[in-house]
A and B are shown apart, each in its own frame.
Chain A
Amino acid sequence: MSKPGNTIDHTRTVPPATDEFVKGLWRDNPVFVQVLGMCPVLAVSNTAINALAMGLATTFVMLMSNILVSLLRNFIPKQVRIASYILIIATFVTITDYAIQAISVELHKSLGAFIALIVVNCLILSRAEAFASKNNLGRSILDALGMGVGFTFALFCLGAVRELLGNGSLFGAAVFPAGFQPWIVMILPAGGFFTLALWLLIFNAAKAKTATP
Protein backbone atom coordinates (compact mmCIF):
# COMPACT_ATOMS: atom_id res chain seq x y z
CA MET A 1 0.00 0.00 0.00
CA SER A 2 2.64 2.54 1.05
CA LYS A 3 4.42 3.10 -2.20
CA PRO A 4 6.97 5.90 -2.12
CA GLY A 5 5.30 7.55 -5.11
CA ASN A 6 2.04 8.11 -3.22
CA THR A 7 2.69 11.20 -1.16
CA ILE A 8 -0.87 12.29 -0.33
CA ASP A 9 -3.15 9.86 1.50
CA HIS A 10 -6.69 11.14 0.96
CA THR A 11 -8.31 8.98 3.62
CA ARG A 12 -6.20 10.20 6.51
CA THR A 13 -6.06 13.96 6.11
CA VAL A 14 -9.17 16.11 6.15
CA PRO A 15 -9.65 17.10 2.51
CA PRO A 16 -10.19 20.76 1.61
CA ALA A 17 -13.86 21.80 1.38
CA THR A 18 -13.74 22.22 -2.39
CA ASP A 19 -12.87 18.55 -2.65
CA GLU A 20 -16.38 17.67 -1.44
CA PHE A 21 -17.74 19.36 -4.52
CA VAL A 22 -15.23 18.02 -7.02
CA LYS A 23 -15.40 14.37 -5.96
CA GLY A 24 -19.00 13.99 -7.12
CA LEU A 25 -18.17 15.16 -10.61
CA TRP A 26 -15.76 12.44 -11.61
CA ARG A 27 -13.93 10.38 -9.00
CA ASP A 28 -17.06 9.34 -7.07
CA ASN A 29 -19.57 10.00 -9.82
CA PRO A 30 -22.88 8.67 -8.45
CA VAL A 31 -23.93 6.92 -11.65
CA PHE A 32 -20.74 5.77 -13.37
CA VAL A 33 -18.70 4.88 -10.30
CA GLN A 34 -21.08 4.27 -7.41
CA VAL A 35 -23.90 2.87 -9.61
CA LEU A 36 -26.60 4.41 -7.42
CA GLY A 37 -30.00 5.78 -8.36
CA MET A 38 -30.24 3.64 -11.47
CA CYS A 39 -34.02 3.63 -11.87
CA PRO A 40 -34.52 7.27 -12.91
CA VAL A 41 -31.25 7.19 -14.83
CA LEU A 42 -32.59 4.49 -17.12
CA ALA A 43 -36.23 5.49 -17.16
CA VAL A 44 -36.26 9.18 -17.99
CA SER A 45 -33.11 9.43 -20.09
CA ASN A 46 -34.95 8.93 -23.39
CA THR A 47 -34.55 12.61 -24.33
CA ALA A 48 -31.94 15.18 -23.32
CA ILE A 49 -34.48 17.64 -21.90
CA ASN A 50 -36.15 15.02 -19.69
CA ALA A 51 -32.75 13.95 -18.43
CA LEU A 52 -31.79 17.53 -17.53
CA ALA A 53 -35.08 18.21 -15.75
CA MET A 54 -34.81 15.01 -13.77
CA GLY A 55 -31.21 15.79 -12.84
CA LEU A 56 -32.12 19.27 -11.62
CA ALA A 57 -35.10 18.02 -9.60
CA THR A 58 -32.95 15.37 -7.95
CA THR A 59 -30.22 17.91 -7.21
CA PHE A 60 -32.73 20.22 -5.55
CA VAL A 61 -34.15 17.47 -3.35
CA MET A 62 -30.68 16.26 -2.45
CA LEU A 63 -29.51 19.78 -1.58
CA MET A 64 -32.50 20.55 0.63
CA SER A 65 -32.48 17.19 2.41
CA ASN A 66 -28.71 17.39 2.96
CA ILE A 67 -29.15 20.84 4.50
CA LEU A 68 -31.92 19.71 6.83
CA VAL A 69 -30.26 16.43 7.79
CA SER A 70 -27.00 18.22 8.49
CA LEU A 71 -28.73 20.83 10.68
CA LEU A 72 -30.70 18.19 12.59
CA ARG A 73 -27.89 15.64 12.83
CA ASN A 74 -27.46 16.11 16.58
CA PHE A 75 -31.20 15.93 17.34
CA ILE A 76 -32.30 12.83 15.43
CA PRO A 77 -32.01 9.66 17.58
CA LYS A 78 -29.91 6.97 15.98
CA GLN A 79 -32.63 4.30 15.94
CA VAL A 80 -35.11 6.27 13.86
CA ARG A 81 -32.67 8.12 11.64
CA ILE A 82 -33.44 6.32 8.37
CA ALA A 83 -37.19 6.82 8.83
CA SER A 84 -36.60 10.51 9.60
CA TYR A 85 -34.42 10.96 6.52
CA ILE A 86 -37.06 9.36 4.31
CA LEU A 87 -39.74 11.66 5.73
CA ILE A 88 -37.54 14.71 5.11
CA ILE A 89 -36.86 13.55 1.55
CA ALA A 90 -40.55 12.78 0.91
CA THR A 91 -41.50 16.29 2.00
CA PHE A 92 -39.14 17.95 -0.45
CA VAL A 93 -40.17 15.59 -3.23
CA THR A 94 -43.81 16.54 -2.70
CA ILE A 95 -42.80 20.20 -2.96
CA THR A 96 -40.84 19.52 -6.16
CA ASP A 97 -43.70 17.51 -7.61
CA TYR A 98 -46.18 20.36 -7.14
CA ALA A 99 -43.66 22.96 -8.31
CA ILE A 100 -42.95 21.15 -11.60
CA GLN A 101 -46.67 20.71 -12.14
CA ALA A 102 -47.10 24.46 -11.70
CA ILE A 103 -44.22 25.37 -14.03
CA SER A 104 -44.88 22.99 -16.90
CA VAL A 105 -47.71 20.48 -17.07
CA GLU A 106 -46.18 19.00 -20.21
CA LEU A 107 -42.88 18.24 -18.49
CA HIS A 108 -44.73 16.81 -15.51
CA LYS A 109 -46.57 14.46 -17.84
CA SER A 110 -43.46 13.24 -19.63
CA LEU A 111 -41.61 12.56 -16.38
CA GLY A 112 -44.70 10.85 -14.98
CA ALA A 113 -44.46 8.98 -11.71
CA PHE A 114 -40.69 9.32 -11.72
CA ILE A 115 -40.79 12.66 -9.93
CA ALA A 116 -42.60 11.04 -7.01
CA LEU A 117 -40.15 8.18 -7.22
CA ILE A 118 -37.23 10.51 -6.36
CA VAL A 119 -38.19 9.58 -2.77
CA VAL A 120 -36.79 6.12 -3.25
CA ASN A 121 -33.68 7.21 -5.14
CA CYS A 122 -30.98 5.41 -3.18
CA LEU A 123 -28.47 8.15 -4.04
CA ILE A 124 -30.26 10.78 -1.92
CA LEU A 125 -30.69 8.51 1.07
CA SER A 126 -27.08 7.37 0.82
CA ARG A 127 -25.80 10.98 0.82
CA ALA A 128 -27.98 11.80 3.85
CA GLU A 129 -26.81 8.72 5.73
CA ALA A 130 -23.18 8.59 4.63
CA PHE A 131 -22.37 12.27 4.48
CA ALA A 132 -24.83 14.87 5.77
CA SER A 133 -25.44 13.09 9.06
CA LYS A 134 -21.74 13.30 9.88
CA ASN A 135 -20.63 16.63 8.44
CA ASN A 136 -21.33 20.31 8.98
CA LEU A 137 -23.68 22.45 6.92
CA GLY A 138 -21.15 23.94 4.51
CA ARG A 139 -19.60 20.63 3.54
CA SER A 140 -23.00 18.99 3.20
CA ILE A 141 -24.17 21.67 0.79
CA LEU A 142 -21.01 21.30 -1.31
CA ASP A 143 -21.37 17.53 -1.28
CA ALA A 144 -25.00 17.67 -2.42
CA LEU A 145 -24.16 20.15 -5.17
CA GLY A 146 -21.23 18.07 -6.41
CA MET A 147 -23.18 14.84 -6.40
CA GLY A 148 -26.16 16.58 -7.99
CA VAL A 149 -24.07 18.01 -10.81
CA GLY A 150 -22.38 14.64 -11.32
CA PHE A 151 -25.76 12.92 -11.43
CA THR A 152 -27.19 15.47 -13.87
CA PHE A 153 -24.09 15.15 -16.05
CA ALA A 154 -24.45 11.37 -16.19
CA LEU A 155 -28.17 11.60 -16.95
CA PHE A 156 -27.43 14.08 -19.70
CA CYS A 157 -24.75 11.78 -21.18
CA LEU A 158 -27.35 9.03 -21.48
CA GLY A 159 -30.20 11.26 -22.57
CA ALA A 160 -28.19 12.97 -25.29
CA VAL A 161 -26.93 9.70 -26.78
CA ARG A 162 -30.36 8.09 -26.70
CA GLU A 163 -32.15 11.08 -28.23
CA LEU A 164 -29.46 11.56 -30.85
CA LEU A 165 -29.52 7.96 -32.06
CA GLY A 166 -33.12 7.10 -31.32
CA ASN A 167 -34.71 10.25 -32.65
CA GLY A 168 -32.00 11.94 -34.68
CA SER A 169 -32.40 15.12 -32.68
CA LEU A 170 -31.02 16.97 -29.66
CA PHE A 171 -33.28 19.09 -27.42
CA GLY A 172 -36.01 18.52 -30.00
CA ALA A 173 -34.01 20.04 -32.88
CA ALA A 174 -33.07 17.75 -35.75
CA VAL A 175 -29.33 17.15 -35.99
CA PHE A 176 -28.88 14.55 -38.69
CA PRO A 177 -29.87 15.06 -42.36
CA ALA A 178 -33.32 13.92 -43.42
CA GLY A 179 -32.13 10.55 -44.71
CA PHE A 180 -31.15 9.40 -41.22
CA GLN A 181 -32.95 6.26 -40.11
CA PRO A 182 -33.53 6.56 -36.34
CA TRP A 183 -32.53 3.62 -34.18
CA ILE A 184 -35.87 3.01 -32.55
CA VAL A 185 -34.32 0.60 -30.07
CA MET A 186 -32.45 3.43 -28.36
CA ILE A 187 -35.58 5.14 -27.03
CA LEU A 188 -37.07 1.80 -26.00
CA PRO A 189 -36.23 0.37 -22.55
CA ALA A 190 -33.59 -1.95 -24.01
CA GLY A 191 -31.72 1.06 -25.38
CA GLY A 192 -31.43 2.46 -21.87
CA PHE A 193 -29.70 -0.68 -20.63
CA PHE A 194 -27.36 -0.78 -23.62
CA THR A 195 -26.40 2.90 -23.43
CA LEU A 196 -25.67 2.75 -19.72
CA ALA A 197 -23.66 -0.44 -20.19
CA LEU A 198 -21.61 1.27 -22.90
CA TRP A 199 -20.92 4.34 -20.75
CA LEU A 200 -19.85 2.08 -17.88
CA LEU A 201 -17.52 0.30 -20.29
CA ILE A 202 -15.96 3.59 -21.36
CA PHE A 203 -15.51 4.62 -17.73
CA ASN A 204 -14.00 1.27 -16.80
CA ALA A 205 -11.62 1.40 -19.74
CA ALA A 206 -10.58 4.94 -18.86
CA LYS A 207 -9.97 3.94 -15.24
CA ALA A 208 -7.99 0.86 -16.23
CA LYS A 209 -5.81 3.00 -18.46
CA THR A 210 -5.01 5.55 -15.76
CA ALA A 211 -4.33 2.80 -13.21
CA THR A 212 -1.71 1.07 -15.39
CA PRO A 213 0.14 3.72 -17.41
Chain B
Amino acid sequence: MSTEESLWNIFINASLVNNFVLAYFLGICPFLGVSGKLETATKMGGAVMFVMLISSMCAYGIHHLLIAINAPFLELISFIVVIASTVQLVEMFIKKMSPALFRSLGIFLPLITTNCAILGLALFQTNKGYNFGESLIYALGAGAGFTLALVLIAGLRERLGLAEVPDVVKGTALTLFIAGILSLTFMGFAGLGGQ
Protein backbone atom coordinates (compact mmCIF):
# COMPACT_ATOMS: atom_id res chain seq x y z
CA MET B 1 0.00 0.00 0.00
CA SER B 2 2.65 2.47 1.06
CA THR B 3 4.37 2.43 -2.31
CA GLU B 4 1.24 3.70 -4.04
CA GLU B 5 0.75 6.57 -1.62
CA SER B 6 1.84 9.88 -3.06
CA LEU B 7 3.79 12.26 -0.86
CA TRP B 8 0.88 14.70 -0.86
CA ASN B 9 -1.46 11.98 0.40
CA ILE B 10 0.94 11.13 3.20
CA PHE B 11 1.03 14.76 4.26
CA ILE B 12 -2.76 15.18 4.19
CA ASN B 13 -3.23 11.89 6.00
CA ALA B 14 -0.82 12.73 8.80
CA SER B 15 -1.98 16.29 9.32
CA LEU B 16 -5.74 16.20 8.79
CA VAL B 17 -7.35 12.79 8.31
CA ASN B 18 -5.42 10.95 11.00
CA ASN B 19 -4.48 13.99 13.05
CA PHE B 20 -2.07 12.85 15.74
CA VAL B 21 -3.83 14.64 18.57
CA LEU B 22 -7.48 14.32 17.62
CA ALA B 23 -7.55 10.87 16.01
CA TYR B 24 -4.61 9.01 17.56
CA PHE B 25 -4.59 10.72 21.00
CA LEU B 26 -0.87 11.35 20.88
CA GLY B 27 0.61 14.32 22.64
CA ILE B 28 -2.38 14.97 24.87
CA CYS B 29 -0.27 16.26 27.78
CA PRO B 30 1.08 19.40 26.04
CA PHE B 31 -2.27 19.64 24.26
CA LEU B 32 -3.98 20.15 27.62
CA GLY B 33 -1.07 21.90 29.29
CA VAL B 34 0.22 24.56 26.90
CA SER B 35 -2.98 25.37 25.05
CA GLY B 36 -3.99 28.24 27.30
CA LYS B 37 -2.47 31.00 25.18
CA LEU B 38 -2.42 31.28 21.40
CA GLU B 39 1.13 32.61 21.17
CA THR B 40 2.73 29.96 23.36
CA ALA B 41 0.79 27.27 21.54
CA THR B 42 2.17 28.37 18.16
CA LYS B 43 5.76 28.31 19.37
CA MET B 44 5.30 25.01 21.15
CA GLY B 45 4.00 23.61 17.87
CA GLY B 46 7.10 24.86 16.09
CA ALA B 47 9.43 23.27 18.64
CA VAL B 48 7.61 19.94 18.46
CA MET B 49 7.68 20.00 14.66
CA PHE B 50 11.43 20.56 14.66
CA VAL B 51 12.06 17.72 17.11
CA MET B 52 9.79 15.50 15.02
CA LEU B 53 11.77 16.18 11.83
CA ILE B 54 15.14 15.46 13.45
CA SER B 55 14.00 12.36 15.30
CA SER B 56 12.22 11.05 12.22
CA MET B 57 15.47 11.24 10.25
CA CYS B 58 17.41 9.56 13.07
CA ALA B 59 14.74 6.91 13.57
CA TYR B 60 15.01 5.96 9.90
CA GLY B 61 18.77 5.49 10.21
CA ILE B 62 18.55 3.63 13.51
CA HIS B 63 15.90 1.25 12.25
CA HIS B 64 18.05 0.18 9.31
CA LEU B 65 21.19 -0.03 11.40
CA LEU B 66 19.48 -2.25 14.00
CA ILE B 67 18.12 -4.53 11.28
CA ALA B 68 21.64 -4.79 9.86
CA ILE B 69 23.12 -5.85 13.20
CA ASN B 70 20.08 -8.00 13.97
CA ALA B 71 19.05 -6.34 17.23
CA PRO B 72 15.47 -5.07 16.80
CA PHE B 73 14.81 -5.23 20.56
CA LEU B 74 17.05 -2.19 21.02
CA GLU B 75 14.80 -0.06 18.83
CA LEU B 76 12.64 1.48 21.54
CA ILE B 77 15.59 2.38 23.75
CA SER B 78 17.56 3.93 20.88
CA PHE B 79 14.57 5.98 19.73
CA ILE B 80 13.98 7.47 23.15
CA VAL B 81 17.66 8.34 23.58
CA VAL B 82 17.71 10.13 20.22
CA ILE B 83 14.55 12.06 21.07
CA ALA B 84 15.88 13.03 24.50
CA SER B 85 19.12 14.38 23.00
CA THR B 86 17.27 16.31 20.31
CA VAL B 87 15.04 17.91 22.90
CA GLN B 88 18.10 18.86 24.93
CA LEU B 89 19.54 20.52 21.82
CA VAL B 90 16.35 22.46 21.14
CA GLU B 91 16.20 23.51 24.77
CA MET B 92 19.73 24.95 24.69
CA PHE B 93 18.98 26.66 21.38
CA ILE B 94 15.78 28.34 22.59
CA LYS B 95 17.40 29.34 25.89
CA LYS B 96 20.14 31.12 23.94
CA MET B 97 17.94 32.66 21.24
CA SER B 98 14.86 33.68 23.20
CA PRO B 99 14.94 33.57 27.01
CA ALA B 100 11.38 34.93 27.13
CA LEU B 101 10.01 32.03 25.11
CA PHE B 102 12.10 29.66 27.23
CA ARG B 103 10.37 30.91 30.36
CA SER B 104 6.87 30.83 28.90
CA LEU B 105 7.22 27.21 27.75
CA GLY B 106 8.58 26.28 31.17
CA ILE B 107 8.45 22.65 32.21
CA PHE B 108 6.73 21.66 28.98
CA LEU B 109 9.93 22.13 26.97
CA PRO B 110 11.90 19.27 28.55
CA LEU B 111 8.64 17.32 28.63
CA ILE B 112 8.66 17.18 24.82
CA THR B 113 10.82 14.12 25.46
CA THR B 114 7.83 12.34 26.91
CA ASN B 115 5.50 13.66 24.23
CA CYS B 116 4.05 10.47 22.82
CA ALA B 117 3.46 12.12 19.45
CA ILE B 118 7.18 12.08 18.72
CA LEU B 119 7.90 8.51 19.78
CA GLY B 120 4.62 7.50 18.12
CA LEU B 121 5.75 9.11 14.87
CA ALA B 122 9.04 7.20 14.95
CA LEU B 123 7.22 3.92 15.60
CA PHE B 124 4.50 4.47 13.00
CA GLN B 125 6.88 5.37 10.21
CA THR B 126 8.90 2.21 10.90
CA ASN B 127 5.73 0.10 10.98
CA LYS B 128 4.51 1.54 7.71
CA GLY B 129 7.88 0.97 6.04
CA TYR B 130 8.26 4.48 4.68
CA ASN B 131 11.44 5.37 2.83
CA PHE B 132 13.53 8.39 3.76
CA GLY B 133 11.61 10.99 1.75
CA GLU B 134 8.24 9.63 2.83
CA SER B 135 9.36 9.65 6.47
CA LEU B 136 10.30 13.31 6.24
CA ILE B 137 6.96 14.26 4.70
CA TYR B 138 5.16 12.15 7.31
CA ALA B 139 7.01 13.97 10.10
CA LEU B 140 6.23 17.33 8.51
CA GLY B 141 2.53 16.43 8.21
CA ALA B 142 2.35 15.13 11.77
CA GLY B 143 4.05 18.26 13.09
CA ALA B 144 1.73 20.51 11.10
CA GLY B 145 -1.28 18.56 12.35
CA PHE B 146 -0.11 18.82 15.95
CA THR B 147 0.46 22.57 15.63
CA LEU B 148 -2.92 23.02 13.95
CA ALA B 149 -4.75 21.19 16.73
CA LEU B 150 -2.84 23.08 19.42
CA VAL B 151 -3.51 26.48 17.83
CA LEU B 152 -7.20 25.73 17.26
CA ILE B 153 -7.78 24.65 20.84
CA ALA B 154 -5.77 27.58 22.20
CA GLY B 155 -7.93 30.01 20.21
CA LEU B 156 -11.09 28.34 21.48
CA ARG B 157 -9.88 28.41 25.05
CA GLU B 158 -8.96 32.08 24.83
CA ARG B 159 -12.51 32.81 23.69
CA LEU B 160 -14.03 30.64 26.40
CA GLY B 161 -12.12 32.60 29.02
CA LEU B 162 -14.76 35.28 28.52
CA ALA B 163 -17.72 32.92 28.79
CA GLU B 164 -19.59 32.12 31.96
CA VAL B 165 -19.04 28.48 32.78
CA PRO B 166 -20.26 26.59 35.87
CA ASP B 167 -17.47 25.99 38.37
CA VAL B 168 -17.60 22.19 38.14
CA VAL B 169 -16.92 22.19 34.40
CA LYS B 170 -13.99 24.61 34.50
CA GLY B 171 -10.52 23.36 33.72
CA THR B 172 -9.65 20.04 32.16
CA ALA B 173 -13.21 18.83 31.72
CA LEU B 174 -14.11 21.86 29.60
CA THR B 175 -10.98 21.48 27.47
CA LEU B 176 -11.81 17.84 26.89
CA PHE B 177 -15.34 18.70 25.77
CA ILE B 178 -13.95 21.18 23.22
CA ALA B 179 -11.40 18.63 22.09
CA GLY B 180 -14.19 16.11 21.56
CA ILE B 181 -16.15 18.52 19.39
CA LEU B 182 -12.98 19.41 17.48
CA SER B 183 -12.28 15.73 16.96
CA LEU B 184 -15.80 15.28 15.53
CA THR B 185 -15.12 18.15 13.14
CA PHE B 186 -11.88 16.59 11.97
CA MET B 187 -13.75 13.42 11.07
CA GLY B 188 -15.15 15.44 8.20
CA PHE B 189 -11.74 15.14 6.54
CA ALA B 190 -12.07 11.36 6.28
CA GLY B 191 -11.41 10.11 2.76
CA LEU B 192 -9.60 13.28 1.75
CA GLY B 193 -6.20 11.61 1.45
CA GLY B 194 -7.53 8.65 -0.55
CA GLN B 195 -7.11 6.45 2.54
Contact = CB atoms under 8 A, between A and B. Distances in A.
A83 B158 CA distance: 35
Contacts of B172: 35, 197, 200
B180 to A, nearest CB: 3
A188 B76 contact: no
Given A94-B77, A119-B119, A122-B111, A189 B22 contact: yes
Interface in A115-136: 116-117, 119-122, 125
Instruction: Say what secondary structure dominates the interface of chain B.
Output: helix
A197 B184 CA distance: 15
Interface residues of B, number: 41
B126 to A, nearest CB: 10
B168 A113 contact: no
A176 interface: no
B25 A192 contact: yes
B145 interface: no
A42 B28 contact: yes
Contact of B183 (A83, A98, A122, A193): A193
Given A189-B22, A194-B180, A94 B76 contact: yes
Contacts of A43: 24-26
Contacts of B123: 113, 116-117
Contact of A113 (B29, B127, B173, B181): B127
Interface string B100-142: 0000000000110111100110011001000000000000000
B179 interface: yes
B84 interface: yes
What band does the interface of chain A fall in when counting residues whose beta carbon is under 8 Å from B?
Answer: 35 or more
Interface in B157-195: 167-169, 171-174, 176-177, 179-181, 183-184, 187
A208 interface: yes
A43 B183 CA distance: 13
Contacts of B23: 189
Interface string A180-206: 000001001111111011001100110
A39 interface: yes
A38 interface: yes
A190 B180 contact: yes
B7 interface: no
Given A90-B80, A116-B76, A189-B23, A197 B177 contact: yes
Contacts of A194: 176-177, 180
Interface string A148-175: 0000000000000000000000000000
Nearest to A209: B168
A42 B26 CA distance: 9
Given A86-B80, A91-B77, A190-B181, A113 B28 contact: no
Nearest to B167: A208
List the 9 closest pairs (A to B, CB-CB), nearest first.
A193-B180, A197-B176, A43-B25, A38-B28, A190-B183, A200-B173, A42-B25, A120-B114, A194-B180
10 contacts: A38-B28, A39-B116, A82-B110, A91-B77, A97-B76, A98-B73, A113-B127, A120-B113, A204-B168, A204-B173
Interface of A: 35-36, 38-40, 42-43, 82-83, 86-87, 90-91, 93-94, 97-98, 113, 116-117, 119-122, 125, 185, 188-194, 196-197, 200-201, 204-205, 208
Given A90-B80, A97-B76, A200-B176, 7 more contacts: A36-B29, A40-B25, A90-B77, A113-B127, A122-B111, A193-B183, A197-B177
